[in-house]
Amino acid sequence: MVRSLKDCCLQAIARNLNRISRVGRQLPHVHKELILKWLSDHDMLTDDYLPHITYHLFSANLKVINFYKCNQVTDHLLYQLSQSGCMLKHLTVHECNNVSDEGIKYITIDQEELEVLELRKLRFLTSYGLEVVRSNKLQKLDLKGCSYIDSRGKCRLFKKFTCIQYFS
């Protein structure tokens, strides 16, 4: 596999957030999003490294967050991300076993620009965790594998979000 120079540079930045002074001020949101995904994919969201991630990468201009099969994604991490004031358009939290209703509430409250919400295989997510979702722009809602979301909760979601074009 051949990696691009851009990918190599972003990985180098991801591994050295603790050594590069004020790197977060130099990065556009797209690169911050890619670095966050890379850190998540490589289990680098550790308690020791999280202060550097929070300082350099969490910002109000983040639009897309993808967390996939990372047990280091927790309610606390989602709370810290929400404190950045980011206005997400796309949020994916897939099979992150340490995320509960509280974490989803933290990250979805006041997300009025949210168009895609993919919460898959979250074993602790219930209908209660989706009560604060308010985006009138929500077009895609994916709740595959969230077995504790009951049919009443799904009905409430359909009534609340009339713009949904895709539901799973």
Q: Is the pLDDT of residue 140 over 80?
A: yes
Which pLDDT belongs to residue 160? 84
CATH of the domain at 68: 3.80.10
Q: pLDDT for 16-34, tens place per residue?
A: 999 999 999 999 999 999 9
Which pLDDT belongs to residue 155? 83
Which pLDDT belongs to residue 168? 84
Mean model confidence pLDDT for the chain: 93
Query: pTM for the full model?
Result: 0.93
d(CA 79, CA 74): 9
| Domain coverage including residue 143 | 5-167
Largest CA distance in the chain: 50
Among 4-8, 66-70, 106-110, whose mean pLDDT is lowest?
Answer: 4-8
Which pLDDT belongs to residue 167? 87
Which pLDDT belongs to residue 55? 95
Residues of the chain above pLDDT 70, percent: 99
Residues of the chain above pLDDT 90, percent: 82
Contact 88, 63 (CB under 8 A): yes
As a whole number, mean pLDDT of residues 74-100 equals 97
Q: What angle do CA 119, 121, 125 make, to 5 degrees?
A: 65
Q: How far is CA 78 from the centre of its chain?
A: 7
As a whole number, mean pLDDT of residues 137-150 equals 93
Q: How confident is the model at residue 51 (pLDDT cuts 50, 70, 90)?
A: very high
Q: Based on the structure, what is the number of domains in the chain?
A: 1
